[in-house]
């Protein structure tokens, strides 16, 4: 059984909560800004899960392939695609060894995937193999030292079978090293501590997020762009 099979049916419930919707909005803004998707391009979403980013790219007119090792997560992604009327090709595969041709895509995305993949270097190398020269890889991860990392570690302590018991979190320097870019190129977001968010109304979260950034809080979300030469 793949790591995320057991939670496939409930995975999207998080995005329906106010805090989940807020986090998703912040993260998508960063990822899509870095990705700069253009209608007609080809894209591969590696570790696509239930299709959050694959469907967002398809909605922007890209020809998208979603890849995930979890058959159950892909079943949910297919159902969501049918619900929305968006066309995405779904492939069940390990992101370290994808059965797709080299240099076939303009854009590759890996969002909150590298935390759960053994040998993340292999996953990045495979993403780059799939890209055409000049193609763009956008990788995003959960930030070490943040309130979000603390929350997920607490969840793992309460439930040893949680997917977060298998997670590694990244610093900006760590993500930069993995992608072979300068640390200054890593984008940071989601400074709001979820514990702080729980005690405030949703309309206050952007202000609290900005205040947390200003006081130097660790970001909960890191993303970066690597271009294939």
Q: Is residue 190 very low, low, confident or very high in pLDDT (cuts 50, 70, 90)?
A: very high
Q: What's the pLDDT at 5?
A: 74
CA pseudo-torsion sign 141, 127, 3, 174? negative
Q: What's the pLDDT at 12?
A: 82
Q: What's the pLDDT at 18?
A: 96
Number of structural domains, the chain?
1
Q: What's the pLDDT at 2?
A: 73
Convert the pLDDT of each residue in 152-163 to its tens digit. Answer: 999 888 877 788
Q: Is residue 33 very low, low, confident or very high in pLDDT (cuts 50, 70, 90)?
A: very high
pLDDT at 136 over 70: yes
What 3-state DSSP class applies to 180? coil
For residue 201, give the H/E element and its range: none
Q: What's the pLDDT at 194?
A: 96
User: 105: burial class by Cβ within 10 Å (0-12, 13-18, 19+)?
Assistant: buried
CATH number at residue 74: 3.40.50.150
Phi, psi of 137, deg, nearest 5: -110, 125
Q: Which domain holds residue 123?
A: 5-227
Q: Which positions ≥6 away from 177 have C-beta within 8 Å? A: none
**In angstroms, what CA-CA distances link 101 with 28, 48, 105, 134, 140?**
27, 18, 9, 16, 24
Convert the pLDDT of each residue in 83-125 to its tens digit. Answer: 999 999 999 999 999 999 999 999 999 999 999 999 999 999 9
The number of C-alpha atoms within 13 Å of 6 and in the hemisphere containing its C-beta is 6
Q: Which positions ≥6 away from 129 have C-beta within 8 Å? A: 102, 103
Cα separation of 215 and 207, whole Å? 13
Helices (H) and strands (E) in the chain, counts: 8, 7
CA pseudo-torsion sign 46, 51, 56, 62? positive
Structure tokens at 179: 């992608």
Structure tokens at 201: 């109304």
Among residues 159, 220, 174, the alpha carbon closest in space to that of 27 is found at 220
What 3-state DSSP class applies to 113? coil
Q: What's the pLDDT at 143?
A: 97
Q: What's the pLDDT at 13?
A: 87
């Amino acid at each position: 059984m793949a790591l995320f099979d057991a939670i496939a049916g409930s995975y999207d419930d998080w995005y329906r909560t106010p805090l989940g919707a807020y986090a998703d909005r912040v993260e998508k803004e960063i990822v899509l800004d870095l990705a700069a998707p253009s209608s007609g391009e080809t894209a591969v979403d590696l570790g696509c899960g239930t299709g959050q980013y694959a469907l967002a790219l398809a909605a922007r007119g890209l020809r998208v392939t979603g890849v995930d090792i979890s058959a159950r997560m892909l079943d949910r992604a297919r159902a969501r695609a049918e619900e929305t009327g968006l066309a995405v090709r779904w492939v069940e595969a390990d992101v370290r060894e994808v059965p797709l041709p080299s240099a076939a895509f303009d854009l590759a995305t890996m969002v909150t995937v590298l935390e759960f993949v053994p040998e993340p270097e292999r996953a990045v190398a495979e993403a780059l193999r799939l890209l055409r020269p000049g193609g763009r890889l956008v990788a995003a991860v959960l930030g070490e030292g943040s309130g979000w990392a603390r929350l997920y570690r607490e969840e793992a302590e309460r439930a040893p079978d949680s997917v977060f018991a298998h997670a590694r979190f990244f610093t900006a320097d760590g993500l930069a090293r993995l992608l072979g870019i300068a640390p200054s190129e890593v984008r940071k977001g989601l400074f709001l501590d979820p514990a702080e968010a729980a005690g405030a109304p949703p309309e206050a979260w952007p202000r609290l997020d900005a205040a947390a950034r200003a006081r130097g809080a660790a970001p909960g979300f890191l993303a970066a762009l690597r271009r294939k030469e």
